Structure 1
Amino acid sequence: MLARVRDGDPGAYADLVRRHAPVAIRTAALLGAGADAEDVAQEAFVKAYAALGRFRPDAPFRPWLLRIVANETRNLHRSAGRRAAREQRAWAATAPLLLHGAGPDGGDVAAAVLGTARREALVAGLGRLSEPHRQVVTCRYLLDLDEAETAEVLGWPRGTVKSRLHRAIAALRAHLEVDVDA
């Protein structure tokens, strides 16, 4: 079958994919790809096709493919870690803007101090939220988008925006209550 694939028979590669897709998806899932297992397997098949010229004809195909799946799963984890670090850096850079962006309009010193303390607590609480919760709160309240706009920006259904916003506000309230009690 691999000889037919190398000769350019697209049907042969489709047969190869059908034969090995279940084990590739299972491998990706078991190695930690989770919900992205199918995407990882698909990317592995694309890379395997591109690398068929380097495949040794006397070697078994399945272990070679599964090695590509494992590498793609590792790449997924690395990119997720880099993305999370990038998001944390972006959040850390944004937090000071939130703290100093809005303040009392020439009110007394006590009000200014209280306003600053509240903003600091709010920014700290937002920083403790999960990324989806921080995104939905940011869109709705910091960017002042309505539910439909928030759903469009985040690419979520409107019901997801409502439920995540509800959970995010509850989590934020819990974080703020802990800070006040401390």
Structure 2
Amino acid sequence: MPRRKTDIEPAEDETALVLRARRGDSVAFGEIVRRYQRAVYRVAYGYTRNTADADDLAQETFVNAYRAISRFRISEPMFPWLARIATNLAFSLHRRRKRRPESSIEPLLEAGKQWGVDDDPARHAENRERESHLAEAFGELSSEHQAVLLLRVMEGLTYDEIARALGVPAGTVMSRLARARTDLRARLAKRTGESK
């Protein structure tokens, strides 16, 4: 059966999809959305910690991406560009609401693997208390520090990808990440009474 020109090839590369989307091919842009919707949603949820806001933010990210697809650099990977759009929208939402965006710390907990599931109720209670301390400490970090931690830990982006997503030099990403980790450790130590 012959293929329609709007059918997506099984492993059609990103460049071809972007070029087709630039020509107004909605099927191609739909494939871009399909490929990245979960990752964009995770970034959005990390900032909003609210499913409705995350849905809205993710949708707005793709609307903005569609409008700006002609400015996307084909030589660059797509996800950092989408993450930057989502991050900018999250910061705008934060400014509109005049409050710090809440961020999900579940990926940080999973990445740490420090507090596994345990059948011992006492340990389970201790783990929940540590998670609570971590969530509170993480919520007190600046938006810049939350952003680099979320993109590094939750999405596993490289320093260069985070730099592109946030529109800052890679050196800035590295220093923010180091400061964010130090600040988070200090805030945790203060809460738990443990020394650094």
Fold in common (TM above 0.5): no
Structure number with greater Rg is: 1
Question: Normalising by structure 1, what TM-score?
Answer: 0.44
**Bigger relative contact order (CA 8 A; separation at least 6):** 2
Question: Normalising by structure 2, what TM-score?
Answer: 0.41
Bigger share in helix: 1
